[in-house]
Amino acid sequence: MSVRDRAGKTCWAALLALLLALFTVPHSASAASLTQVSGFGSNPGNLSMYAYVPANLPSGAPLVVALHGCTQSASDYFGHSGWPKYADAYGFALVFPQTTSANNANSCFNWFQSQDYTRGQGEALSIKQMVDYARTQYGSDASRVYITGLSAGGAMTAVMLADYPDVFAGGSIDSGIPAGCATDLISGLTCQNNPVGKTPQQWGDLVRGASGGWTGPWPRVAVWQGTADTTVNPANATESRDQWTNVWGISQTPSSTASLPGGTTQAVYDDAGGKPAVETYTVSGMAHGLAVSPGSAGDQCGTTGTYYLNYICSSYYTARFWGLDGSGGTGSLPAPGGLTVTGTTDNSVSLSWGAVSDAASYNVYRDGTKVGSTASTSYTDTGLASGTGYRYTVAAADASGRVGASSAAVTATTTGYQPRCFTDSNYNQVVAGRAHQSLGYVYANGSNQYMGLYNLYVTHTLEETSTGYYVIADSGCPA
């Protein structure tokens, strides 16, 4: 065979390999988006499940379930409520149940029908099955599952908190109705339009009766309500407060109050340990809807639309109340400003931030977990792995220990380098940036070692011995 023939065959082989790779490998993964999920359970309530899972979400992250209102959908609530912003910022998965006109003429959750609001039945069980699926598939922390909803979704949130206090650590009832208020459509309309006037004990008994004998701990519940709501009588917010303070065995007199943006008054009802158990947010002049506040600031979120009203970002304050921002709770102190990484070593990160008036101390959080407390406006976190990235936030605490809003996050990477190993197909090694391909063949980045054909079928282990430098380590990876 001539040199020309051999060269021609080599060229054709390379071209064939390239074509094979193009037709046998999938497209690279896209950024996180709202995705419909099927097969999550027996689904007796005939609901649809949609999920939003931020890229690279670690196992053990929290889970938030968000229920849309009447005439709305999962995608509508996803696009307007602002929850995806905080899922990305704080690191948690979102589940958006969806009902349709086949279940209810106005696409409302059936919070007033016994076959749907009873534990272990109908729509309530379908939502519980979505939680079970998410915990299994996304590795969600079973102790940090929360639920929120607007209008009929808010009423269904109250139902789920009453039915499954063993599942939910907290909830937020937005322009909704207390659990157990209605047993059919007629009584549902009565609850919606008029004060029902039960005592706190009677409201609490409805939760205790729905829960299947649960004795605690109970979910921590936020209640949002506009004073100009003509669709859901604002008295429902008071009755929801009475219900959950009674369940917790605490007073209906607030432990503290605060004025928030958008004409909002926050009332806090502490448990016996001094931690907020129930909070109400009364939005002056707001009609029926979910409070949002479009903008790029940390406490702004969402977009306006039908039933999405520009007052205050309710999702931000609800996430804080649940401790999703890493603060572990809420107080009235503002977030510290100017959080800055002032230095790094192989095993430490130094931080500084601006002072907050009336702050007695500051809590420092690494990747959402509290790692220290200091009275000063600087802190050095030690004992870290070299060559590793970490995410930090800081929150001020007052003299009673109540923690305020968390700062914007900063990231810091320690110096030095720790070798890492990656076992994957040649195609995925290229997609991940650990190797490159040329004419259908793959080579390790840095060392340029030959790895074989560019496809999903050839697999190698690569060791990253320094940043961006990879060597083949199929016989054993010391890292």
With vertex at residue 443, the alpha carbon angle to CA 437 and CA 449, rounded to the nearest 5 degrees, is 165
DSSP designation for 90? I
Alpha carbons within 13 angstroms on the beta-carbon side of residue 104 total 22
Q: Which sign does the torsion angle of CA 200, 167, 90, 327 carry?
A: positive
Q: In a 3-state reduction of DSSP, which class is residue 115?
A: helix
* Residue 162: C-alpha distances to residues 123, 170, 218, 358 (Å): 14, 11, 9, 38
The 3-state DSSP composition of the chain as helix, strand, coil percent (nearest 5) reads 25, 30, 45
Q: How far apart are CA 378 and CA 470, in angstroms?
A: 38
Sign of the Cα torsion 371, 372, 376, 382 reads: negative
Which residue intervals of 323-476 are DSSP H helices? 426-431
- Cα 405 to Cα 355: distance, rounded to the nearest angstrom: 13
Sign of CA dihedral 400, 316, 40, 155: positive
Active site (annotated) includes residue 151: yes
Nearest CA among 392, 385, 324, 317 for reference residue 353: 392
Three-state SS for 426? helix
Which of 151, 172, 255, 314 is catalytic? The answer is 151
Between the alpha carbon of residue 339 and those of residues 89, 335, 369, the distances in Å are 16, 10, 17
Query: Which residue in this structure is represented by tokens 């040329």?
Result: 438
Q: Measured in whole angstroms, how far is the alpha carbon of residue 437 from the centre of its chain?
A: 38
Catalytic center residues: 151
